[in-house]
Amino acid sequence: MWREKLQIHKSNWIAALHPSCKFLVVCLYSFCALLLASFKVGEGEYSLYTIAWFVIVPALAIGSGIIKRFWNAFTKVLLVAVVIIVVQSLLIPGGDTVAQLWILKVREEGLRSAIYLGFSVMNIAGIFVWFFQTTENKEISCALEDSGTNYKVTYVFISTLQMIEILGQNSKTIMNAQQARGVETQGNIVVRTRAFFASLVPLILGAITGTEERVLTLESKGFDVNCKKSRLFQIEKTGREKMVNTIAIAITVAIVGWRVALWIL
């Protein structure tokens, strides 16, 4: 019974798919996104298919029941993509002028490059955001070990993922502590930069201390002992993985066949 309580039971069948199945979907989706970006549409030869392909990402997030968490994480990717699109549109010369605002001109070559790079980033980064929002770290860990990956490699990979979140939380804690002591952390960019660099020393020292504690904890649990490791957490397939894999592979084959046919014709 205790072991059963450690299982993750998800009501949504898409989110409950095995991590290996979702990772295959991520890889095939990314491959198709890059392939569709090479399709040129219209007289301007824009990569418009990659825009339509992006609709799948929010659709998966809605279908998985994580649209709010997905949007909160995806806003950072969206900001980077918008910057890429704006910079590419305005700085790359070539072709006719598509739009003009005062001295700023958007030319065909710049717009073509902006659509290609911007939506390629949104497609690939977006599908990875969906994957990590629907898959917990311990699910990834179990899936890697079940696939034959060495447990030390698995631990390093999962620790790296967790470290980003841990450092972010520690940074917020340090900034709140500085505010409580009367240190200015809000204001113009100079004040924010000064407060950020002031928080780096305790953040780095805290990370080093945490690493030492983590090493002692692993040693006390026999991490380096050469024996079969026991796990209290297990993941099971929902039974729909084969169907999802088949659909993903079929769509990929169809897109590849379409692209090859266009090259030939």
Is residue 75, in this structure, part of any structural domain at all? yes
Whether residue 68 sits in one domain with residue 169: no
Quick one: CA dihedral 48, 49, 52, 57, positive or negative?
Answer: negative
- Give me the number of domains the chain comprises: 2
Is residue 4, in this structure, part of any structural domain at all? no
Whether residue 122 sits in one domain with residue 44: yes
Whether residue 99 sits in one domain with residue 45: yes
Retrieve residue 173's tokens.
Answer: 């804690």
pLDDT the model gives residue 246: 95
**Nearest of 220, 206, 216, 131 to residue 171 by alpha carbon:** 206
Whether residue 88 sits in one domain with residue 208: no
Q: What percent of the chain has pLDDT over 70?
A: 85
Is residue 225, in this structure, part of any structural domain at all? no
Whether residue 239 sits in one domain with residue 112: yes
Whether residue 187 sits in one domain with residue 74: no
Is residue 42, in this structure, part of any structural domain at all? yes
Whether residue 215 sits in one domain with residue 117: no
Whether residue 149 sits in one domain with residue 127: no
Is residue 227, in this structure, part of any structural domain at all? no
Range of lowest pLDDT (52-61, 63-72, 179-188, 250-259): 179-188
| Greatest mean pLDDT range, 181-190, 217-226, 237-246 | 237-246
Find the domain containing 27 and state its range.
Answer: 12-135+235-264
Is residue 2, in this structure, part of any structural domain at all? no
Retrieve residue 117's tokens.
Answer: 């790079």
Mean pLDDT, the chain, integer: 81
Whether residue 37 sits in one domain with residue 130: yes
Whether residue 157 sits in one domain with residue 69: no
CA distance 176 to 203: 13
Range of lowest pLDDT (88-92, 95-99, 144-148): 95-99
Is residue 185, in this structure, part of any structural domain at all? yes
Is residue 186, in this structure, part of any structural domain at all? yes
Average pLDDT over residues 237-247: 90
Q: Are 73 and 138 in contact (CB under 8 A)?
A: no
Whether residue 146 sits in one domain with residue 125: no
Quick one: CA dihedral 108, 80, 52, 128, positive or negative?
Answer: positive
CA distance 193 to 186: 10
* 70-90: pLDDT as tens digits: 999 899 899 999 998 888 888
* 13-70: pLDDT as tens digits: 898 899 999 999 999 999 999 998 888 776 667 788 888 899 999 999 999 989 999 9
Q: What percent of the chain has pLDDT over 90?
A: 26
Whether residue 206 sits in one domain with residue 153: yes
